[in-house]
Structure 1
């Protein structure tokens, strides 16, 4: 897929009806030969819209007006390119816990959670947040995570988590203002509710910091998994992570994770982690596939805002 096409796809499938600013911006970049040429100087994994837009926001550049964005990007390209080369999209959206919860609550308790691509570890606290599925609320914590769920009854309980750890090439620390600023920059412009959610979830993580290990999802996963306390069900999970991993390493990861005791929850795009005979996704928006131990169960939206169960 060309860089221009990837921005057109992002506008149509991810930003449409979710972020008008990023929809406008992505369409403008897809037609902007000067910015496309600059993006072409970066490695293929560093050209994606969310990384470019997040870096420009982090540096204080404009993302609401495409013309101002163009001028800023061209004028400040060396600084933007340096940040894009050194960073990855580490969107740590606690709202994704709402689509993980139905699976987590149904597994043998208590749980030992191990997140791959954990960023700052905010998705390691599904037992501390509250959830609203339509008229059904579960839990009493903050933030309250809202999810439009179809095809299933909402879970009746929260999981019992006795151990939580994350693995990431570059773990982030919510108590570090610079790391928190990057997480904030990755939130789309209009999403003030997600900014509030980030702050509330960061307070939970800061009060009880998770074990976050700097490491590779293939080479370092078994050693971290071996630290799980006796009597707890290991759950290795990841959400919107594997698209950043080259295909051969993805295959190696799947082999490693399948060899571990416990369970494996994946929440990834269908072209990143393939499954046979998936039903049609609801509507034309971008959806991930929620799967348990390789069996697909539901379509999910990227920020946890919707879940359509078919398993």
Structure 2
């Protein structure tokens, strides 16, 4: 078991998750997060895992994977986890929270269209997971104002992602999606979303009450799951440069965009600290643009350039070449320009 101070840190992590991330999004995860934070026995089991494997989303997805009812109360989840801890912990060691949320394309689209400016794009995603965010041109988008009135509709078909925009963001919406000529991604463990078990895992990563989001995930897989892309299993610190060179070689007339969403939080501390300088250097070498969409504390230098604070602790900071452009909902449901 970890020293008391480390157990306290884990408890604080779960409590913060419940109060800052899950509140207003999932009543189940609010109850589960608060429950774990006050549960010394379960905290002790979590202490057997490496720190990156103790995160709430991973525990809760593993519990659901092994049969915990969700939506549901804390006690049934706790009893299942403790009863089947060898199996649950094995899943937590083997799998990751590679939430492949295509709805984030709704908040990426305005900056991608701005970067394209009529030219084709080459999209290279760091932390590509199953690749669903590489196809912003294949989805439809409905942008609404804060009163729910339609502001713009881009693209057609299914899935359609809704996104609430403020008046300034509305002025930056494109008339059409940019053309994507090349798509590629880098991941420590790329996923094949056409594999039924992999897709089932992605489904349990969607929070319990978000039935519509799960349906859109399935729709996105049906549209782009088997579409071509260049996916490399590798490390961002070591392998990004060679993949950027490959993108340049295979799509020389396209504007290269290196992007990532909700990924840098999983970098180790050394890489996260070095990342802005490293990716800026690689982008300069390969004539590329860096787009980031991360929590404000993950890349604080990007968030610090915003002209206004985030609407809530759940919001991400959308940045272009290290400068804040907007605050975004973590699942792509809102866009506030800064």
What is the TM-score when the length of structure 1 is the normalising length? 0.96
The structure richer in helix per residue is 2
In the alignment, which of 115, 125, 133 is matched to residue 125 of structure 2?
115
Cα deviation, residue 277, structure 1: 4.8
Please list, as runs of the form range in 1=range in 2, the aligned pairs for 1:214-253 lying within 5 A after superposition. Answer: 214-228=233-247, 229-253=251-275
Please list, as runs of the form range in 1=range in 2, the aligned pairs for 1:1-311 lying within 5 A after superposition. Answer: 2-63=9-70, 64-108=72-116, 109-134=119-144, 135=150, 136-150=152-166, 151-153=168-170, 154-228=173-247, 229-259=251-281, 260=283, 261-275=287-301, 276-278=304-306, 279-282=308-311, 284-310=312-338
CA distance in 2, matches of 1:277, 1:100: 18
The number of residues matched between the two structures is 309
Indicate the residue corresponding to 2:5 in structure 1: none
Cα deviation, residue 303, structure 1: 0.6
Instruction: Specify every segment of 5 or more residues in structure 2 that has no aligned partner in the other structure, as ranges.
Output: 1-7, 145-149
**Root-mean-square deviation over aligned CA pairs:** 1.3
CA distance in 2, matches of 1:285, 1:296: 16
CA distance in 1, matches of 2:260, 2:74: 33
| Cα deviation code 1:187-231 (max 9, x no counterpart) | 111111111111111112224132221111111111111122110
| Cα deviation code 1:87-124 (max 9, x no counterpart) | 21100000000110110011132100000001000000
- Higher-Rg structure is 2
CA distance in 2, matches of 1:117, 1:11: 25
CA distance in 1, matches of 2:11, 2:334: 28
Name the SS for the 1:174 alignment partner.
Answer: coil
Cα deviation, residue 255, structure 1: 3.0
Instruction: Specify every segment of 5 or more residues in structure 1 that has no aligned partner in the other structure, as ranges.
Output: none
| Cα deviation code 1:13-57 (max 9, x no counterpart) | 111111111111111111111111111121111111111111111
Deviates more, 1:201-210 or 1:80-89: 201-210
Paired residues of 2:132 and 2:225 also in contact (CA < 8 A): no
CA distance in 2, matches of 1:281, 1:103: 18
Cα deviation, residue 85, structure 1: 1.4
Name the SS for the 1:256 alignment partner.
Answer: helix
